[in-house]
Amino acid sequence: MGDMAGRRTDARQKMVSAARELLREQGYHATALSDVLRRSEAPRGSVYFHFPGGKAELAVEAAALHSQEQVSAIDSAAAAATSPAELVRAYLERARTNLVASDYRQGCTIAPLVIESTRDSDELDAVGRRSFETIIAALAGHFVAFGLAPDDARRLADVTVAGAEGALITARALRDPAPFDAMIDVLTRGIA
């Protein structure tokens, strides 16, 4: 009973996790369901059972997982930080570390969903907006707690996320983390 539910959740989670990895590496359309199944060691028929919406629903959940992890990381970093600048730095360094550690393979999970403009499902169209909004709101909330005015906090959150996304793309293309360092310098200069 608990076992069954546990297994079910387990298989689901493994699929979502595998989908997230593949999205980060290859994007949406380049990732076949068979890729996800191979990596998660799940049988083909399970997809439709766990995700009636098919591939689109799987991607939506993968994006949700990604943004949740980002928010968790932001909260942890904020607890350890003493200024907005430190939180900005932590956020960008986390992205850089993941990218370099994966040999410039793993970027952002959400970006491909935005760029590939998938008309597969309405949810999938909306998930990019929701995910970024969630992450930006989390950052902005902590910036306000550090004493910034709400408008300034929002703007700083915007550039932090945009800076990370852009650095992920260019650093990945160049196979060089320099854009991250330069971006961190610019973003943390002139703010407390």
Partner DNA sequence: CCGATGCTATGTCGGTCGTCATACATGTCA
Partner DNA sequence: TGACATGTATGACGACCGACATAGCATCGG
Residue 117 interacts with DNA (CB under 7 A): yes or no: no
Residue 60 interacts with its own copies (CB under 8 A): yes or no: no
# of chain residues touching its own copies (CB under 8 A): 51
Residue 115 binds which of DNA, its own copies, none (CB < 5-8 A, kind-dependent): its own copies
Residue 61's closest CA among 9, 101, 2? 9
The span from the CA of 88 to the CA of 127, in Å, is 24
Window 2-31: residues binding its own copies (CB under 8 A):
25-30
Residue 33 interacts with DNA (CB under 7 A): yes or no: yes
Output DSSP code: residue 107.
-
Residue 145 amino acid letter: A
Residue 11 interacts with DNA (CB under 7 A): yes or no: yes
The residues, ordered by sequence, that sit 6+ positions from 151 with a Cβ below 8 Å of its Cβ are none
- Nearest approach in angstroms of CB 44 to DNA is 4
The span from the CA of 139 to the CA of 25, in Å, is 25
Inter-residue contact 79 to 65 (CB < 8 Å): no
Residue 62's closest CA among 113, 99, 1, 115? 113
Residue 126 interacts with DNA (CB under 7 A): yes or no: no
Residue 31 interacts with DNA (CB under 7 A): yes or no: yes
* Residue from the set 51, 91, 132, 143 that interacts with its own copies by CB under 8 A: 132
Q: Which residues bind DNA (CB under 7 A)?
A: 1, 3-5, 7-8, 11, 31-34, 42-50, 54-56, 120
